[in-house]
Each structure stands twice: as structure tokens, then as C-alpha cells.
């Protein structure tokens, strides 16, 4: 048995609490289990228990075996001297405070319903992708969807932690922070790191000084990406390289290593060269993107803002010096929607939270409700269980549930797991 299961049993009082006695035979009654501690120190604080007609208020510590108190180093930690009750499955060794006084102990062995133990074991050791697959659709609809609502907010708040770090790095310059996050997500998973490096090494204020000239913006973007070194046959990369040499001297720039960019096993439309050309075109149209986004109320306007086309050279190329069949190089709707979900929505949500703008937080959530769900293996797993995401709001919640609860076997911290164990 894991200690986490004991935490669950104690927190929700899912054990036989009739005629409780300490291991020394003293009558014991639980008035308040306490508040679960997610930081260092005893497991539950502000608990209230009656032991032999005396009311004790303090902390509660839980272990599978009482000897773990010593194994975990609590004997020498004064933070554990205010523990008023030690809750264990099995007391194999009495525990005392630093002054030698014995800490009252409650042993749960024989008080745990057998069916709860069996269900917990099934969830804990289930080899399916989703541990509760056999139970999931039996859980009341309201519990599942209320939990998904909570998970969506949890996911957004988790993303805003990253945004807060970026903001601090840019001295709370919102446009510069948005530029960096947008660049990272332009690279998707494969080229996220080099895109972020590019944004850090090519400050937005430098791009802004040349935003009216697409060729100069491309020269800055491709030059800083380290992709203009070489002996080119085509005139366009030659011209970009000449322009970049001038801009590099002007701003004292240091380019990246070209080897950071990954092309292997990518479809040509996702080549970093194409994404960089699209990124440059977007910056050429507007470097103050976030300010414009703040003024928008619907997704159609947002899509129009990102409806940019690359320069003529990229209409017939995926890489320098390699001609291809002419085709449009606009940002695809699926790619756009990923940018909205992973960049614009969390950034807008965080801005609303930081500036007490509930209307912006609400708008961010509404945009998720109107965006289509992503398509990936995680959502396929949920669909196979009969839980289909109708929009990005639900798909984001389901992705978070799978990656942060199911994959980590956090069933005891999940409202669905809790419902199964009731």
C-alpha cells in the first residue's frame, strides 16, 4: 500500500471510524482531519482530535508503517514536534517527540473497506493508457464535466507560470514577451527551442525599426537563424545575406548555429525555413500584435490578423536554392488554431488576470469554446472511451487530465478517481 492511499482515506474519512482508539487503548475521536499540506512538513495541519477526553489541535502525520517516521528523518526535525496524531496502517515501532513523550498513534489496519483497497489496486496497477477506463463512463456526467472545467483553468494557470517568467525576463514588456512566446510556438515541438533562441537573440525593438521592409525583416530573421551562410545560386538568398551583413554590423548581432534547426521527418510545409518566412511576414504586417489582439472580440478578426502571405520567393521554394511547385504559403488553419490555443488564449488569460480584466479572461475561455479540438493520440484514447471533445476547451482539459493525472497515476487527487472510490 502506498502512503498516498492513506492520505486519501484520512482526508475523506473513508475508513471505519467507529469506536476509535489509539494503539495505547485511549478513546479517540476525529473532529477535523485538517488541511492537506502540499509543502514540506507534516501531512495535514490544523487538525482537531479528542484523545481520552482531551481536545488536541495540531498536525497529523501519516505513514504505512510507524517506523518510517525515523526512516524519513522526522525524529530530528522540530517541525514534527507539534504532531498530535500519527496515523499508520501498522504500528511496528512507537514514535516519540524530541522530549521523549510518546506521540498518540491511530492504526488503520482492519478498518479499511476491502472493496476500496481492491479498486485502488486496480487503478494503481492498471496497464491501460487511462487507468479508470472500465469506470469512466459510469461516473455521473456532472462530476466529469465539472472536473474538466476545473482542469481547463488549472491548465491555463500552469501555462501562465511560463508566461510570468517570460514577462519578468522582459521587464514586464508585454509585447516583447508575447513575441518570444509566439516565436516558440511557431516551431511546434520540433523547433520550439531554436525559435525561442531566435526571439531572444533578435530583440523585437530591432525588428520594429525595419518592419516596413519585408526583405529587411527576412534578412534579420534568416540571418539571426544562422541560415544565410553558404554559397547560394539564387539571387534572393544572396540579397538577404548582403542585407544581413549590413544589419549585423549595425546592431552588433550574433547569429545562431544553423545546426539547431531540425528538418528531418518534417513535411515540407513545416520546414523551419517556411515557418521563418511566415514569421517574418507576420512581423512585417505588425510588430505590435498583442495590442491588436486586445482590441479583438471574435475569432474571425483574429484569423484575419494572422492571414499573411510569404514573400514571392517562398511561393516556389521550401528551402534556399531548391525550387518547388508553386503553392500558397499562408498559415494553415490547423496551425493557426494551435497558435491560438497555446499562445494567444493563455497570454490573454494571464493579461486579464494581471490587470483585473475579467472580460479578457472570459473572452479567452470563449475563444477556446469556439475553436475546434486538436487532433492527437491522447484525444483518440478518450474518444475510444466515448469521451469526445467538442471544442478546444474540452480537448485542452482532456489533454491535461491524461498527462497530469492519468499518466502520473494521480487517481487519488482526481475528482473522477475520488468518485470511483466512494
User: pTM score, two decimals?
Assistant: 0.82
In the structure grid, which three cell numbers stand for residue 254, read together?
A: 550574433
The whole-number pLDDT of residue 119 equals 84
Half-sphere exposure of 20 (CA within 13 A, CB side): 23
Average pLDDT over residues 387-414: 94
User: Look-up: residue for cell 482492519?
Assistant: 110
Q: How confident is the model at residue 325 (pLDDT cuts 50, 70, 90)?
A: confident
Half-sphere exposure of 265 (CA within 13 A, CB side): 3
3 state DSSP class of 32: strand
Average pLDDT over residues 345-369: 97
Q: How confident is the model at residue 328 (pLDDT cuts 50, 70, 90)?
A: confident
C-alpha 270 chain-centroid distance: 24
- Residue 262 neighbours by CB under 8 Å, 6+ apart: 190, 191, 194, 272
For the chain, report the end-to-end CA distance as a whole number of angstroms.
18
> Do 175 and 290 meet the contact criterion of CB atoms below 8 Å apart?
yes
The whole-number pLDDT of residue 118 equals 85
The whole-number pLDDT of residue 238 equals 97
> Do 45 and 37 meet the contact criterion of CB atoms below 8 Å apart?
yes
Half-sphere exposure of 34 (CA within 13 A, CB side): 27
The whole-number pLDDT of residue 124 equals 76
- Torsion angle defined by CA atoms of residues 321, 230, 223 and 166, in that order, rounded to the nearest 10 degrees: 100
- Residue 62 neighbours by CB under 8 Å, 6+ apart: 3, 6, 7, 10, 43, 44, 86, 87, 88
H-helix or E-strand containing 294? helix 289-294
Residue 365 has pLDDT above 90, yes or no: yes
Q: What percent of the chain clears pLDDT 70, i.e. is strictly above it?
A: 100
In the structure grid, which three cell numbers stand for residue 355, read together?
A: 490587470
Q: pLDDT digit string (tens) for 243-291?
A: 999 999 999 999 999 999 999 999 999 999 999 999 999 999 988 999 9
The whole-number pLDDT of residue 192 equals 97
User: Look-up: residue for cell 499508520?
Assistant: 88
Q: pLDDT digit string (tens) for 20-66?
A: 999 999 999 999 999 999 888 999 999 999 999 899 999 999 999 99
The whole-number pLDDT of residue 399 equals 98
Q: How confident is the model at residue 99 (pLDDT cuts 50, 70, 90)?
A: confident
The whole-number pLDDT of residue 329 equals 83
Q: pLDDT digit string (tens) for 230-239?
A: 899 999 999 9
Q: How confident is the model at residue 418 (pLDDT cuts 50, 70, 90)?
A: confident
- Bin 34: left if φ > 0, else alpha if -120 < ψ < 50, else beta: left
The whole-number pLDDT of residue 395 equals 98
Average pLDDT over residues 72-83: 90
CA 45 vs CA 6, 58, 197, 409: distances in Å: 16, 6, 44, 25
Amino acid at each position: 500500500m502506498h502512503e498516498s492511499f492513506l492520505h486519501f482515506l484520512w482526508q475523506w474519512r473513508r475508513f471505519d471510524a467507529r469506536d476509535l482508539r489509539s494503539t495505547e487503548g485511549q478513546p479517540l475521536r476525529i473532529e477535523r482531519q485538517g488541511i492537506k499540506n502540499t509543502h514540506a512538513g507534516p501531512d495535514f495541519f490544523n487538525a482537531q482530535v479528542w484523545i481520552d477526553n482531551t481536545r488536541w489541535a495540531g498536525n497529523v502525520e501519516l505513514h504505512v508503517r510507524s517506523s518510517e517516521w525515523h526512516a524519513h528523518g522526522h525524529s530530528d526535525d522540530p517541525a514534527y514536534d507539534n504532531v498530535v496524531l500519527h496515523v499508520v496502517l501498522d504500528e511496528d515501532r512507537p514514535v516519540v517527540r524530541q522530549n521523549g513523550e510518546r506521540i498518540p498513534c491511530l492504526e488503520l489496519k482492519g478498518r479499511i473497506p476491502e472493496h476500496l483497497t481492491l479498486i485502488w489496486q486496480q487503478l494503481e496497477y492498471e496497464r491501460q493508457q487511462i487507468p479508470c477506463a472500465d469506470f469512466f463512463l459510469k461516473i455521473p456526467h456532472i462530476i466529469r464535466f465539472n472536473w474538466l472545467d476545473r482542469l481547463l483553468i488549472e491548465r491555463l494557470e500552469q501555462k501562465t507560470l511560463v508566461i510570468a517568467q517570460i514577462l519578468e525576463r522582459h521587464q514586464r514588456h508585454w509585447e516583447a514577451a508575447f513575441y518570444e512566446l509566439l516565436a516558440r510556438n511557431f516551431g511546434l515541438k520540433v523547433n520550439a527551442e531554436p525559435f525561442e533562441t531566435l526571439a531572444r537573440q533578435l530583440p523585437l525593438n530591432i525588428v520594429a525599426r525595419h518592419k516596413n521592409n519585408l526583405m529587411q525583416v527576412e534578412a534579420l530573421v534568416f540571418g539571426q537563424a544562422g541560415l544565410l551562410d553558404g554559397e547560394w545560386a539564387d539571387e534572393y538568398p544572396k540579397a538577404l545575406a548582403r542585407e544581413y551583413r549590413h544589419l549585423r554590423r549595425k546592431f552588433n548581432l550574433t547569429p545562431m548555429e544553423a545546426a539547431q534547426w531540425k528538418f528531418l521527418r518534417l513535411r515540407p510545409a513545416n520546414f523551419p525555413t517556411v515557418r521563418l518566412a511566415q514569421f517574418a511576414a507576420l512581423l512585417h504586417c505588425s510588430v505590435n500584435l498583442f495590442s491588436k489582439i486586445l482590441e479583438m472580440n471574435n475569432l474571425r478578426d483574429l484569423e484575419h490578423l494572422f492571414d499573411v502571405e510569404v514573400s514571392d520567393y517562398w511561393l516556389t521554394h521550401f528551402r534556399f536554392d531548391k525550387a518547388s511547385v508553386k503553392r500558397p504559403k499562408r498559415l494553415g488553419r490547423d496551425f493557426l488554431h494551435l497558435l491560438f490555443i497555446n499562445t494567444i488564449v493563455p497570454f490573454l488569460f494571464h493579461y486579464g488576470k494581471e490587470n483585473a480584466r475579467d472580460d479578457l479572461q472570459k473572452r479567452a475561455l470563449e475563444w477556446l469554446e469556439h475553436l475546434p479540438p486538436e487532433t492527437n493520440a491522447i484525444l483518440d484514447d478518450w474518444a475510444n472511451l466515448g469521451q469526445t471533445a467538442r471544442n478546444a476547451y474540452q480537448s485542452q482539459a482532456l489533454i491535461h487530465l491524461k498527462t497530469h493525472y492519468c499518466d502520473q497515476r494521480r487517481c487519488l487527487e482526481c475528482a473522477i478517481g475520488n468518485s470511483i472510490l466512494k
